[in-house]
Every structure is written in C-alpha cells, then in structure tokens.
Structure 1
Amino acid sequence: MSMRVAVVTGAARGIGLAVAQRLASVGMKVVMADLRDAAQAASMVNRDLCAGVDADVSDEASVQQLVAGVVARYGRLDVLVNNAGISPKHGGRKARVEDTALPEWQSVLDINLTGTFLMCRAALPHMRAAGWGRIVNLSSQAGRSRSAVTGAHYAASKAGILGFSRILAEEVGGDGITVNCVAPGRIATAMAAAVPETVNQEIAARIPLARLGTAAEVADAVSFLVSEQAAYLTGVTLDVNGGYFMA
C-alpha cells in the first residue's frame, strides 16, 4: 500500500501541530495548512514527511487551491483533519452575546464551521475515487455542554461541526469514507492560555483527572480515528476531557 497522505488544518501550533507530528510518526505524509508559519512548522516536525502550506480555510478559492495542490503533488488525499479554529477573547474573557459584534460572530463561524465544510467538500471527490478516506473534525467540549470561558459563537460553531459530521458520515459511508469528531476539553495550548491562569486552575480542580489535557493526548485520539483499527467507527465523537463532561 502506498503511503497515506494527510492534510491537517490549523497545523502551525497547538493541537494541529501535535496531530501533524503524530501522523508523521506513523509514516504518513502530512500537509500542514495554516494562515501563516505553516512551512516553518513543517520543517521543524519532519522535513521528509511534512510540507507546510499557507491557506485560509474560510476562503473557498484558497481551499480549492490547497486541495488541488496536494493531489497534484502526491496524487492522492487520504486523511483530512479539520482543526483550524479561533476563539476570540477580550481582556482574557469571552464577549457576552449582547456584546458580540456581528463581524466577530461571522469570523468565528466562517473559520470554525464553514472552513470545515469547505475542506470536506473539496477533499471528498478524491477520497471517493479511491474508495477510502478518513475525516476527523475537531469539535469541542463547548459544543457538547455549557462553557463559561468560550463565547456563544465558538460554542455554536463547534456544536455545528457535530451535526454536520453526523450528516456527512451517513452520506459517504458507502464510499469507504469515515467521518468522526474529537471534542477536546480544556487543553494546555495557547488558546487556553488566553484567559487568566486562575481560570484554568479552577477548571482543572473540577476535572476528575485533576489537570488540563495535552495536545499530544488529543493527537492520539485523532491518530486512532484515522487508523485501520477504527474502520468500523463513523459518526462518533470522542470526548478528550479528563472526565469533565461525560455523555
């Protein structure tokens, strides 16, 4: 079997970077896409297996160019991990609904939710032609339950990803493509560090495992879902949150 080719969005830092590292460690060629710094991040992960591409997942033309470039270079696209996302803060705190400006609301949905849709839509013809594909969409605990630290736009976008993924899983299962979600809880990344440290300490105290998660632990869940061991899983959401939320 030829080497699998994966695209990971939002891959220059945080969870996306950890996912790219994990997939490269199991021998996949990984295209790391981000708004900026993608090439630098790829060179630090694995110069032989990783390539960085600057791309805007909220822009249809940019997405089409990204996917076309991957297929032109490697001849295939097997795995898609939609991780790109933003969660704006103001002075370290979320904006309440009545204080949220429409451009900010739209930007979050454009990147988090519409970006996931655009990437999936562009990748699917290539996966369908191959009769095999793995899509993992990064949702969030905020899309599964109430969140005191993320804005309504972020929660709405992440809940939307869950609904979108279930519909897509049903549509493409017969083509050999699985679609699943990973819903991280509080993970020690730059995004989590955008709030006061006391907030993260208070959250950690309420987590049964008594700590924040790591990006590598989320990457392990993603790696499982794109593996052959997960061949009979589709439409599933894996909660990686230390027990803070239990479905």
Structure 2
Amino acid sequence: MFTSLAGRSVVITGGTKGIGKGIARVFAGVGAKVLVVGRDEDAGKATARELGVSHLSADVTRAEDCARIARTAAERHGGVDVLCASGGVFPGRRLTDMTEADIDAVVGVNLKGTMLCVQACLAPLQASGRGRVVLTSSITGPLTGYPGWSHYGASRAAQLGFMRTAAMELAPKGITINAVLPGNILTERLAAQGEDYLRGLRAAIPVGRLGTAEDIGNACLFLATDEAAYITGTSLVVDGGQILPESPEALGLM
C-alpha cells in the first residue's frame, strides 16, 4: 500500500496538453494539489476546468517565469512537493535543413527549460522534506534515434546527463530526481496522423497497443511516492517493450 499523495503540491510543466495533461490527470485523481503550466492560455484554462486543477501561463525558457512558477505554487498550494518537468517540443527537421533557431528552440524548452524549472523549485522542494523531481524525457535520444529529430534526441539525452549530476547535488537536500522515458504515446498530435499510421506503430510494440498519457502519469506518480525515496538518478522506460525487438521479424515469432 503506497502512502497517499493527497494534499501534496505538484507542479507539472507542459501540463496543459498531451503527456503532461495525462500526468496532471493522474495526480489530480489521487487528491494532489496540481498546478499545470503551459504557454497556451486557452489550453491551460480548459485543462484547469476539466481536471479541477490550477493553471499558470509561463515560458520555461525564461528564468523569471520559472521563479514565478515556484512562487505561484507556494502562494496557491503552500510549496512544492513534486515537480514534473514535462514541457517539451519536437518539431521535425533534417540536419540538411536545420537552422540555428531550430536548435535553440528545441534545446531551450527541453533542456534549458528543465534545468531552470528544477533550479527555481529547489528551495520549496527542500523545505518539503520529501521533494521529488520527475523529468519527462524520451526513448528517442537516450536509447533510439529517428530521422528529423537529431536536435530533439540530443536534448532528451542531455536531460539524463543533467539528471545524474543533479541527483548527487540534490541528495543531501532530501530531493530525488528521476526520469521517465516514454515510447509511442497516443496523444492528440499522434492521433491526428490517422488510423493507418497508428496501426503501423502498434504492430511494432510487443504489448500490442500504444501507450496512454496516463501510463506515463502512473510512472511519475510512483517516482513521487514516499516508497520511491531510495530511487534517484535513474530512468524508467515506459514503452510497452518497443525498444526490445532486434528486428521487425522478431515480433512475428512471439
């Protein structure tokens, strides 16, 4: 039986849509006081109404906005017990066409934004006495590659490099930091690709289905529990076995 997280203050960046929204749904469902953060004001308001959570419009690439996130969580919910850094962008661009602005945009949100949010929330996380940081990374970059996503993959792999050293620095403060690495998750954007595309994706996953945003939320929830207090600096792959087959033919042998 896991210790209840009801009443704990949870900040979720990128929490207004996609995987971040699924994470918010899971934490709200166990009674946590959730603050979702995103740049889209309308999406944030809609998510807040739907899930019964609080919302703040902010840009995680700006240090002053990240400081405002921490202040707002303290003002509305009394502090920060859990930070789920789930903000991310993934515009496709091949190396031959990639611009400096493309690189800056992806690295700015996915890596710099993660680091700034963690930094801004350090004091309230330490004051919590049970501070938890959970990063949403990806299998793309740390474990796999995909054409057009070299900048994205680099940013996600870099998150894990940050996490490992941060884990050592934060351990004496009573804060753990871990990462969840999603595989193919059925978000609004993926669903828009059509059923033929989704059928091909499902065929490559041993468990036979795409993941849900709530699957990622459940992994984040576990890493935020008191029972996960001895886990830090590690990553949890949540992909239905997607990275396991040596070749597509291997799935036909199951």
Report deviation, 1:8: 0.3
Q: Could you tell me how far apart the structure 2 residues matched to 1:63 and 1:178 are?
A: 19
* Cα 1:104–1:197 shift into 2, 3 Å: farther
What TM-score comes out, normalization by structure 2 length?
0.88
Query: C-alpha separation between the residues in 1 aligned to 2:156 and 2:192?
Result: 19
Name which of structure 1's ranges 167-176 and 145-154 shifts more when overlaid on structure 2: 145-154
User: Among 48, 60, 73, which residue is 1:42 paired with?
Assistant: 48
In the superposition, relative to structure 1, how do residues 194 and 155 fare at CA in structure 2: closer, same or farther (>3 Å)?
A: farther
> In angstroms, what is the RMSD of aligned CA positions?
2.0
On the 8 A contact 1:142/1:150 being kept in 2, the answer is no
Distance 1:218 1:74 in 2: 24
Q: Give the 5 Å matches for 1:8-157.
A: 8-36=12-40, 37-46=43-52, 50-88=53-91, 94-148=92-146, 151-157=149-155
Cα distance change on mapping 1:188 and 1:2 into 2, 3 Å: closer
Distance in structure 2 (CA, Å) of the matches to 1:193 and 1:156: 25
**Partner Cα distance (1:59, 1:197) in 2:** 38
Deviation for aligned residue 1:205: 1.4
Please say if residues 16 and 44 of structure 2, whose CA atoms lie closer than 8 Å, have aligned partners that are also in contact. Answer: yes
Q: Report the Cα distance in structure 2 between the residues aligned to 1:71 and 1:65, rounded to whole angstroms.
A: 10
Greater alpha carbon shift after TM alignment, 109-118 vs 137-146:
137-146
Residues 44 and 55 in structure 2, CA contact (< 8 A), matched pair in contact too: yes
CA distance in 2, matches of 1:58, 1:114: 6
**2:6 and 2:30 in contact (8 A); partners too:** no
Unaligned runs of 5+ in 1: 89-93
C-alpha spacing 1:26/1:114, structure 2 compared with 1 (3 Å): same
Q: Which residue of 1 aligns with 2:241?
A: 243
SS of match in other structure, 1:147: coil
Shift of 1:210: 2.0
Secondary structure class of the residue paired with 1:97? coil
Counterpart residue number, 1:180: 178
CA distance in 1: counterparts of 2:203 and 2:227, whole angstroms = 34
Taking the aligned partners of 1:166 and 1:14, their CA distance within structure 2 comes to 26
Deviates more, 1:121-130 or 1:79-88: 121-130
Report if the CA contact (8 A) 1:87-1:191 is conserved.
no
Shift of 1:197: 5.2
CA contact (8 A) 2:94 2:148 kept: no
Give the percent of matched residue pairs that are identical in Structure 1 and Structure 2.
36
Distance 1:39 1:10, change over 3 A: same
One-letter amino acid of the structure 1 residue matched with residue 65 of structure 2? S
| Alpha-carbon spacing, 1:144–1:194, altered in 2? closer, same or farther (3 Å) | farther
Cα distance in 1, alignment partners of residues 25 and 73 from structure 2 = 18
**Structure 1 residues 202-224: Cα deviation after superposition (integer angstroms, max 9, x where no partner):** 33212111221111111111111
User: 1:160 aligns to what SS in structure 2?
Assistant: helix
